[in-house]
Structure 1
Amino acid sequence: MLTSQTTEQRCPCGSEKPFAYCCEPYIEGQKPAPTAEQLMRSRYTAFALGAIDYLIDTTAPEKRDVIDRAIIAEQIQFTTWTGLTILDKEAGHKGDSKGVVEFEAKFETDEEHCILHERSNFYAKNGQWYYVDGEVDVRSAT
């Protein structure tokens, strides 16, 4: 288990479900996320909890060469994720091959409070969803 969270503690993704019944099975590799939205939620949770391997493993294989583990680790160390809101979804259901999830993720650093707005692209292959890329905008929340 990633953390000492119990089945009573809510998942960081904002689903209101217990962590153990929401994102934990995906992050721990017990089963793949069934939809693009659930993959996006579990990746948010992985950022919040520091699950770098999961972030890399759920990035499209053709995009992994541009991932810098050290940069992700540094971002995780200095960032506290404080909330996720799903704004829109296009496809990305079981049986779909592509999906788009638009969301806002609030975060804090020592210097500022910000909102990351992203419209993320995903694809599914052999029952596994992958993050491809996204249109990202970060703005101050203050």
Structure 2
Amino acid sequence: MEPSPLELPSDTVQRIAAELRCHPTDEQVALRLDEEDTLKHFRECFYIPKMQDLPPIDLSLVNKEENSIYFLGNSLGLQPKMVKTFLEEELDKWAKMGAYGHDVGKRPWIVGDESIVGLMKDIVGKYIIQIIPPTLIVISVI
């Protein structure tokens, strides 16, 4: 049975459990959900902390080489792997050009907020005129 586009997550779990003839909390259901995850390729875009690198972990209880399960989305979240590349480019530009980086280069700093407003429009579902990136607020207050 194929899922409908409006299927609730709980219904998806129930449907898969029925297909597998097991309880919804069975590990088989979780493994099937992982297999069918159309967004799983995005994991490769982020650094995921290893268990051994997290301070509050009792290493006698876990495999220290495994990736952690990271549920900290309201904080920094996971670091995108491209962050280092972009930061190094901007730090290099700053070292070479000083304050002229505000006006020139691939990503002039003065219009940094404007370059993301168009992308944010689709995420927040508002008109561009209604979107104020957080950096603008911080800069305005200072």
Give the TM-score of the pair, scaled to structure 2.
0.22
Give the structure with the larger helix fraction: 2
User: Which one scores higher on RCO, CA 8 angstroms, separation ≥ 6?
Assistant: 1
**Larger Rg computed on CA atoms:** 2
